[in-house]
Amino acid sequence: METNENTDSRPVIVWDVDDVLNNLAFEWFKEFEELHHSGVSYEQLSANPPDKILGIPLDSYLESLDDFRSRKMSELKPVNAVLEWFHAHGADFRHAALTAVPFHFAPLSAQWVMKNFGNWIRSFHFVPSFRKDDNIVAYDKSKADMLKRIDRVDAFIDDNEFNIAQAGCLGICSIAFPRPWNKNRGMAISECLSKLEKLKTGKGDADEKIV
């Protein structure tokens, strides 16, 4: 007898896209530095957005990032260590993507995810990053709001500590992906991802907000 009951007990991981599955900020900054010669290194980008570090207006930074995204998003390569992890361990889990991206670039982001990680990631969620010309229906204000609406989340991986903290408050095991602007900046990506192995043994810690 057929049943519609979902018996898949594999842990569910929700992944940020930009600066977790790909190196968007790193690739954008390489181009920015070639054009503007700010003298700042990528490792010195201790805040995101980095407008104050680079000495430029926030609007100018967002315009530059959006321009880069429109031209280069489809060409971005997956983070090697992340792709290797998916090949080795991806089938042991279920996966979803959750990104904060400007509304007009959401199709590009979704296409990139499905092209590069569609073998594992089967659902795509986004919370629009506000832009001054937006005129769209307002739903969720944060990634935490969206996480509440996903039926089950066992782990959430993001580069933004605010998002990590909010997810932790929901009781979700939350991992800060190593980037210069968060507390895991010195951790190897492979070491960070190895924390996910706890989920398979039921040892994930919901209070582990920044692993």
Q: Where are the domains of the chain?
A: 12-23+76-201, 26-75
SS3 of residue 160 by DSSP: coil
Tens of pLDDT along the chain (211 residues) come to 444 556 788 999 999 999 999 999 999 999 999 999 999 999 999 999 999 999 999 999 999 999 999 999 999 999 999 999 999 999 999 999 999 999 999 999 999 999 999 999 999 999 999 888 888 888 999 999 999 999 899 999 999 999 999 999 999 999 999 999 999 999 999 999 999 988 876 655 444 444 4
The fold of 12-23+76-201 is Rossmann fold (3.40.50)
Whether the Cβ atoms of residue 140 and residue 127 lie closer than 8 Å to each other: yes
Q: Which residue has the tokens 């968060």?
A: 182
Q: What is the pTM of this model?
A: 0.91
